[in-house]
Structures are given as C-alpha cells and as structure tokens.
Chains A and B, each alone.
Chain A
Amino acid sequence: AQTVTQSQPEMSVQEAETVTLSCTYDTSESDYYLFWYKQPPSRQMILVIRQEAYKQQNATENRFSVNFQKAAKSFSLKISDSQLGDAAMYFCAYRSAWEIGNQFYFGTGTSLTVIP
C-alpha cells in the first residue's frame, strides 16, 4: 500500500491571506493521481483539486493551486485569498493509475482554521 503523509495536523491563516498545506507520499509507481479533499464540519467530503502525475503543469482551481514536485514526491496545496468558508479538514490522497480497485490512500489530514 502507498503511504501519504501530512505533517501539519493544524494550520491557521488570516482571512484574505495565503496558506500552504503540505503533503508527501511514497510510491514506486510512475503513473498515479493526486487529490486534495476538503471536509467541512458537515463531514461531507468535497474534491478540491486533482493532479495527474504525468503532467508537469501544476493544477489550478480558482483560489486553489498545487505545487507538484514529482521527484521529491511532494504535493502541496496553496489557498489564496483565504475565506471563512475554507475552514475545514483537508486531506491529501493518492491513487494508482493501475491498481485494481482504484482505491485511494489518504493522509491523516490538516485542520485549517481561518481567522477573521
């Protein structure tokens, strides 16, 4: 099984500021996908952004962007112009391109607090 590590259990950011959440993973595969999910207090898991390992260009979705460093096996999430609604638990996830079952491997999460 692959391992995903989120070394920051908790982070905080001032409203309108930028914050970066870290994620590293361990794999011997060359083809895979990486995701960031958001889990607000409602506990509903919401897909924030995804990245294909074969793409060198970093994915961007509005205020959310990633810094994907394949050689370093690093996949950080940057949230710009933070809003109160961004407060949530954020999970980094890995998915093999070839593994039967397509299961995701999740990190332990980073709890983000947005300070007004």
Chain B
Amino acid sequence: QVQLVQSGAEVKKPGASVKVSCKVSGYTLTELSMHWVRQAPGKGLEWMGGFDPEDGETIYAQKFQGRVTMTEDTSTDTAYMELSSLRSEDTAVYYCATPSWRGYFADYWGQGTLVTVSS
C-alpha cells in the first residue's frame, strides 16, 4: 500500500517560487513514477508533469516548461515539485500522484497542498 504525504499549505507573493514535497511510504520512490497534478479553485484537474518509465525521463506539460522542476531524493523517498515565477493564476491545490504499476494513470494520490499566490 502506497502512502503519499505532502507538505503543508504555502502563501507566496507573485514572482516567488514554491517547493512542495511528497513523502512516500509503503514503497520506495525508485519503484514508482511520480507525477504532479494541480487544481485551481473550482476548476478541473491539470497535469503538470511526471516520470515516464518508458524513456526514464521526467516530462513536463508544455504549459509549465521552463517554470517547473520535479526532483527526487531517493535517500528519503521524497519527491519535490518546484514552481517558479508564481502568479495569481498558480493559486491551486497541488497533488502528487502515482500508479502502483506501470501505466499512464494514478491510483495513489497525496492529500494535496494548497498554494496561494497573493500580494
């Protein structure tokens, strides 16, 4: 059973960066393909990027290219998502999510981290 526990809510000013963490338990991070999905208030789900096991690389949604970085610390089984040059439209709940077997989906999700961007 995979458990994903995310870091707490953040409030940031426009132009700043935010780094959200996702601690894995039940599996090791190397056994999983971590992805990040966000949801703006009252809006739908939006995929930001994640690890593609087919080519062994992290891929990012075109919308976030150059502004998002996803990293992993395998020594602590923690995944990170850093988003820079924040603007008000980045206010959202950010989720880490992963499939428990190879595939382009997620059956395990973190609890979500609310990031508020406000001056």
Q: Do A and B bind each other?
A: no
Write the residues of chain A forming the contact surface with B, with a CB cutoff of 8 angstroms.
Answer: none
